[in-house]
Chains A and B, each alone.
Chain A
Amino acid sequence: MSLPLPTIASRVMTFCPVSFPRTIAKLQGLLNNQNATASVITQLLVTDPLLCAGVLGQANALKPCLSAAHAISSLGLEAVQGILRATEPVPEDRRQLLSTWCDEANATGLMVRILVRYLRGRRRIFALQNLDDESLHLLGLLHNLGHAVAIVSFPEQYRVATAAHTLSSEPFRQQVKDALGLAPGDLGYMLCRQWRLPEMISLTNRFVNHPYEIEDSEAATAAAVVHVSRTLVRALGLVAGHDRHLDPIEDQALGLLNLRSGECEALMVQFLDAWDDQEDYEPGGGAL
């Protein structure tokens, strides 16, 4: 039994950022310490998708912004403190699920950086030229916000979708749509609009599974990059919550990027080396 759209919309409108107690404490410690530099604060912020989305949205509402570092400098640390004060700890029974979602988001961010560097080096894409590594990371990090909203704000419907998914061959997003009334992509899009996130991130949330439906070529390329990156990290086992089965990679997405499927192996090797070696994120239990 799905929920009426106004009920879903009201929960999304009142959705506050949630984070892991350890991240909240670390960020609070950094913000209270006058010796902590803005770059150290940014490094931590860009590992936490919902907190990062909250900060980015507030900055983007004032002036177009697709960078956490720019968002912090334009808002000021006081505003970041305010967002942190409004952030609630993730309920204990949902921490494990949200931790896997957080891993998938961070892994997708890393893979987006690797994939775009690879494509740029071979002159395969000419879109996204204005995006630096951090903005590319945010594209991947914030691509699936609806899944987190479903876990945190609609736990009952999420449980129903999980149970149905084990018995059906439909994609998990379809099970969420049947149980809740909206697919995670639409839920994420609704949150992006509510939080005033950049259009490119909003469109990626909505169209990540079918990027070729976006008319704007820059945004379509961004969504195609995230689509391919997400599929590759999920193939490697970084799957969010109960969404464990892979959907086929879209041929049109590969076509948009001029990428051959045979090239994915080298990208996965690069990713695993970088994932094991990264300094700024502790996968899995590190977020708890």
Chain B
Amino acid sequence: MVLSRQVATANKMVLCSAHTVLNQDLIDRMSMRGIRRVWVDGHPVEDATGKPFSVALAELRERFARCKDHPVMRDLLVMTERVMIPRM
């Protein structure tokens, strides 16, 4: 894997420049400095756990199935759908 952006600490000290090839030693050193995420070249691998839209929507409604008569929860279901559907 190759870095697509430089890696810097919170106080802007650059640890690795862009286009550096990552190896285990570099990853360990960055972990010690509190780096949790880096940008790498390439395309993301498709999420193996990604669910089809219909399944995700059915699961959302199922979570509310036992409280759909509660007025606050009815509103909350509508709000949750508005928030989640564009992200599904």
Contacts from A to B (Cβ < 8 Å): 26, 29-30, 33, 35-37, 39-40, 43, 169, 171, 231-232, 234-237, 239, 244-249, 251, 254, 261-262, 264-265, 268-269, 272, 279-280, 282, 284-285
A268 touches B80 (CB 8 A): yes
- Name the B residues within 8 Å of A254 (CB-CB): 72
Residue with the highest number of chain A CB atoms closer than 10 Å, among B28, B49, B66, B84? B66
11 contacts between A and B (CB under 8 A): A30-B31, A40-B33, A43-B34, A231-B76, A237-B60, A239-B63, A248-B67, A248-B72, A261-B75, A269-B83, A280-B36
B33: nearest residue on chain A (CB-CB)?
A40
B66 touches A245 (CB 8 A): yes
Chain B 45-88, CB-CB to A under 8 Å as 1, else 0, gives 00001000000100110111111001011011101101110010
A279 touches B76 (CB 8 A): no
B62 touches A262 (CB 8 A): no
- Name the A residues within 8 Å of B59 (CB-CB): 237
A169 to B65, CA, bound (A): 10
A169 touches B66 (CB 8 A): yes
Q: Which one of A244, A279, A284 lies within 8 Å of B37 (CB-CB)?
A: A279
Q: Which one of A35, A171, A237, A245 lies within 8 Å of B65 (CB-CB)?
A: A245
**For the side of the interface on B, what is the size category?**
20 to 34
Residue with the highest number of chain A CB atoms closer than 10 Å, among B31, B32, B64, B76? B76
| A284 and B83 in contact, given A244-B63, A245-B65 (Cβ under 8 angstroms) | no
A264 touches B76 (CB 8 A): yes
- Name the A residues within 8 Å of B33 (CB-CB): 40
A250: nearest residue on chain B (CB-CB)?
B72
- Name the A residues within 8 Å of B56 (CB-CB): 237
| A246 and B34 in contact, given A235-B76, A237-B60, A284-B49 (Cβ under 8 angstroms) | no
**Told that A236-B84, A262-B75, A272-B87 touch, could you supply 17 new A-B pairs with CB distance under 8 A?**
A30-B31, A36-B32, A169-B66, A235-B64, A236-B83, A237-B56, A244-B63, A245-B63, A245-B66, A245-B67, A246-B63, A254-B72, A262-B79, A265-B79, A268-B80, A279-B37, A280-B36
A247: nearest residue on chain B (CB-CB)?
B67
- Name the A residues within 8 Å of B65 (CB-CB): 245
Chain B 8-51, CB-CB to A under 8 Å as 1, else 0, gives 00000000000000000000100111101100000000000100
A187 to B67, CA, bound (A): 25
B66 touches A265 (CB 8 A): no
- Name the B residues within 8 Å of A234 (CB-CB): 63
| Distance to closest chain B CB from A104 (angstroms) | 12
